[in-house]
Amino acid sequence: MLRVDFVSLFPELILPALGHSILLRAKEAGQVAFRCANPRDFAEDAHRTVDHPPFGGGAGMVLMAPLVAKAVRSLDPVDGAAVILTDPSGERFCQRHARELASRPQVVFLCGHYGGVDDRVRQRYATQVFSIGDFVLTGGELPALVMADAVVRLIPGVLGDPESLVNEAHTEGLLGYPQFTKPRGFEGASVPDVLLSGDHGAIARWRRRQALLATRRLRPDLFATAPLTRNDLKLLDEPILDVSPEAEDTD
């Protein structure tokens, strides 16, 4: 069982988001356990103060290290636990990190707020610092939830069909391929013929080619390092009809 914990001033933002769908089923099946620790619960003054203006001046309030540290310690990080500080200046979180975290016994997410967290928390407690993108949010709760979701669905057994993980985006360094389902005709747009052909080899080749083309077009950075096979290079050269002609709306 993976323990996924959060240090946050706003546990009410976090726990409800984990109580639905696949994450709820994983929790009920004992594959994951979620907990929150609130630094404010460790504040000792009458106002339960958790932040203070930054030394050296400037805008924003900074979360005080001793309270965040007490909240982390209350979660009893075990040997091998990852302690992740959410920070827009961190390393960009990706599927490779999600896979690595899913193999840990415990992951603790530290959610900053306001002007961020006293840097001594990073120095003394964080094993990794992750950003979810080059933009700034008001707090680390949404980034922590995004990362937790990406991690939990990789715990073996959490997704009913493990095949789901095989061909999806970012598993092999490529983007995903487009999916279609009923009805066959929708607002004049049809489904690529190959998907209705029953020819599983042709379908697999079509999907792989779509993933390769999308990655080359939309994410040349990923394409440059994707581990392409000889077959992939052949597929990219093949003149395959990718789009079917217009169809009438039908089931």
Ligand X SMILES: C[S@@+](CC[C@H](N)C(=O)[O-])C[C@H]1O[C@@H](n2cnc3c(N)ncnc32)[C@H](O)[C@@H]1O
**Could you give the angle at the alpha carbon of 62 between the alpha carbons of 58 and 67, nearest 5°?**
160
Please count the residues of this chain forming the interface with ligand X, following the rule CB under 6 A: 21
Q: What is the CA radius of gyration of the chain?
A: 23
Is 150 a binder of ligand X (CB under 6 A)? no
Report if residue 173 touches ligand X, rule: CB under 6 A.
Answer: no
The reply on whether position 59 binds ligand X by CB under 6 A is no
Binding status of residue 55 toward ligand X by CB under 6 A: no
Supply the minimum distance, in Å, between the C-beta of residue 138 and ligand X.
6
Q: What span, in angstroms and rounded, lies between the C-alpha atoms of 8 and 111?
A: 5
Range in contact with ligand X (rule: CB under 6 A) among 74-82, 127-135, 178-186, 240-248: 127-135
Of 8-16, 65-73, 110-118, 239-247, the window that binds ligand X (rule: CB under 6 A) is 110-118
36 or 235: whose CB is closer to ligand X?
Answer: 36
Return d(Cα 211, Cα 226) in angstroms, integer. Answer: 11
- Residues 6 or more apart whose CB falls under 8 angstroms from that of 163 comprise none
**Closest separation between CB of residue 86 and ligand X, Å?**
4
> Per-residue contact track with ligand X, 77 to 96, x per CB under 6 A?
---------xxxx-------
119 versus 249: smaller Cβ distance to ligand X: 119
Q: What does the block give as tokens for 165?
A: 């993980």
**Strand pairing category for 32-37 and 51-52:** unpaired
Quote the CA–CA distance of 54 and 66 in Å, as a whole number.
Answer: 15
Strand order across the 82-92 sheet: 32-37, 2-7, 106-110, 82-92, 128-131
Residues 223-242 that bind ligand X (CB under 6 A): none
- Does the protein bind ligand X through residue 131 (CB under 6 A)? yes
* Closer Cβ to ligand X, 112 or 192, answer by number: 112
- Respond yes or no on whether the N-terminal peptide bond of residue 66 is cis (omega within 30° of 0): no
Identify whether the C-beta of residue 216 lies closer than 8 Å to the C-beta of residue 236: yes
Q: Is 192 in the site for ligand X (CB under 6 A)?
A: no
| Closest residue to ligand X in the complex (CB) | 112
Q: CB-wise, 89 or 197, nearer to ligand X? A: 89
Indicate whether 117 belongs to the interface with ligand X (CB under 6 A): yes
Instruction: Check binding of 53 to ligand X (CB under 6 A).
Output: no
Report which of 98, 40, 96, 45 is spatially closest to residue 71, judged by C-alpha positions.
40
Distance CA 221, CA 200 (A): 30
- Interaction of residue 137 with ligand X, rule CB under 6 A: yes
Using CB under 6 A, list all residues that contact ligand X. 60, 86-89, 111-113, 115-117, 131-133, 135-140, 143
